[in-house]
Amino acid sequence: MAPKPFEVTDVLAAVNACTTAAARRRVFVTGAAGFIGFHTAKALLDRGDDVVIVDEMNDYYDVKLKQSNLDWLTTTYGDRVRVYIGDLCDQQLVRRVLKETKPDSMVHLAARAGVRPSIDNPLMYIQANVVATMVLLDACREFGIKKFVYASSSSVYGGSMKESFSEEDIVDFPVSPYAATKKSCELLAHTYHHLHGLDTIGLRFFTVYGPRGRPDMAPFKFMDRIARDVAIDQYGDGSSSRDYTFIDDIVQGVVLSLDRGQGCEVFNLGRGTPVLLTDFIAIIEGLVGKKAKINLLPDQPGDVPRTSADISKAEKLLGYKPTTPLEQGLAKTWEWYSEFYNVAPVMSP
């Protein structure tokens, strides 16, 4: 079936209120066929920026979903969007795109995601995450692009049991190759700021969810399986917790970083309100109108027991203000899922 667009209703108001003085740009956005990249590109285009997209279109998850994202952007915004398909590790491709499009700034959201798969194929993660970031940073140096905003991850905090994770915490003990690649990207960004004066703004995302989300992530996977009466896999006893952050709030932080970020900084983008896995599943059960069938499995290597973002730095320096409660965000996600996949909701008794 033809994909139906999901309109982000809250992002523009938040972004425009904070960025009315920002000059309109041509922004190079990597990974815009994917989840966070799509919504970021949409927000930038909606406020008047032009966007240059480079995406590898790999098959880590359903390529049809990625293609529907690109099709929607190009159909909606026409020639204000330029799309290139290719590997970001290809220096010649990156140079050609930059020569042809002359962007003002770069937002690097492409990556090979997933903690567990990185354990099985670490070299792929080094290539896709570290080498690609190196190529882009060096291209910024070569072409005089002074602003580089990039996706890091809450996974850099490893197995920390602190009440909340601060950017001041030591993050030298990653527990998965994926986390190690994200920490490596932060080090490379610092190096290019030090050597070449590039403004590098790293964003440690905390469990992002929402419409058009990745099918391998828990929100999508749980909704899909509960709706189809297929058992979900629960790792551990359900006491693990995550700081779930709605996509609108993440995009607000990305765009604010593009407009206000200076120097070499790293920011947490989350809500600061971790939720137990058992409570998370219960909310989804209520939305879908069915009880989950659960396969209880042991904790997985590389997983962490909890995440919780201290967002005070982003609030102070960027004006970041997440506003979407988990229940509201999951309701929007379920609404999109039901429409996109033509699922008839079951009313709770």
CATH number at residue 43: 3.40.50.720
Work out the pLDDT band at 281, boundaries 50, 70, 90.
very high
The confidence score (pLDDT) of residue 7 equals 45
With tokens 């700081």, the residue in question is: 243
Partners of 197 in beta bridges: none
Between 291 and 347, where is the model more confident? 291
- Where in the sequence numbering do the catalytic residues fall? 178
Partners of 150 in beta bridges: 108, 202
The confidence score (pLDDT) of residue 16 equals 53
Between 57 and 236, where is the model more confident? 57
The confidence score (pLDDT) of residue 4 equals 44
Q: Which of 13-22, 85-94, 321-330 has the lowest mean pLDDT?
A: 13-22
The confidence score (pLDDT) of residue 311 equals 98
Range of the domain at 268: 11-208+245-272+308-323
Work out the pLDDT band at 299, boundaries 50, 70, 90.
confident
Judge whether 288 lies within some domain: no
Partners of 29 in beta bridges: 53, 107
Work out the pLDDT band at 348, boundaries 50, 70, 90.
very low
Residue-averaged pLDDT of the chain:
92
Judge whether 59 lies within some domain: yes
Residue-wise pLDDT tens digits, 254-277: 999 999 999 999 999 999 999 999
Work out the pLDDT band at 301, boundaries 50, 70, 90.
confident
| Residue 69 one-letter amino acid | N
Picking from 269, 271, 245, 243, the residue whose alpha carbon sits closest to that of residue 256 is 269
Contact 342, 1 (CB under 8 A): yes
Judge whether 216 lies within some domain: no
Picking from 334, 101, 136, the residue whose alpha carbon sits closest to that of residue 222 is 334
Picking from 41, 40, 33, the residue whose alpha carbon sits closest to that of residue 66 is 33
Judge whether 280 lies within some domain: no
Judge whether 55 lies within some domain: yes
Judge whether 234 lies within some domain: no
Spatial separation of the C-alpha atoms in residues 40 and 51, rounded to whole Å:
10
Q: Which of 85-99, 160-174, 199-213 has the lowest mean pLDDT?
A: 160-174
Judge whether 133 lies within some domain: yes
Q: Which of 19-33, 156-170, 204-218 has the lowest mean pLDDT?
A: 19-33
Residue-wise pLDDT tens digits, 107-117: 999 999 989 99
Work out the pLDDT band at 344, boundaries 50, 70, 90.
low
Find the mean pLDDT for residues 203-209: 98
Judge whether 283 lies within some domain: no
For residue 197, pLDDT over 60 is answered with: yes
Spatial separation of the C-alpha atoms in residues 169 and 172, rounded to whole Å:
9
**Angle between the N-to-C axes of helices 218-227 and 277-288, in degrees from 0 to 180, rounded to the nearest 10:** 40
Q: Which of 216-220, 226-230, 248-252 has the lowest mean pLDDT?
A: 216-220
Helices and strands (DSSP H and E) totals, the chain:
13, 13
Which token pair is 255? Answer: 């765009």
Work out the pLDDT band at 345, boundaries 50, 70, 90.
low
Work out the pLDDT band at 22, boundaries 50, 70, 90.
low
For residue 253, pLDDT over 80 is answered with: yes
With b meaning 16 or more CB within 10 Å and e meaning fewer, what string describes 251-287? bbbbbbbbbebeebbbbbbbbbebbebeebbebbbeb
Number of domains in the chain: 1
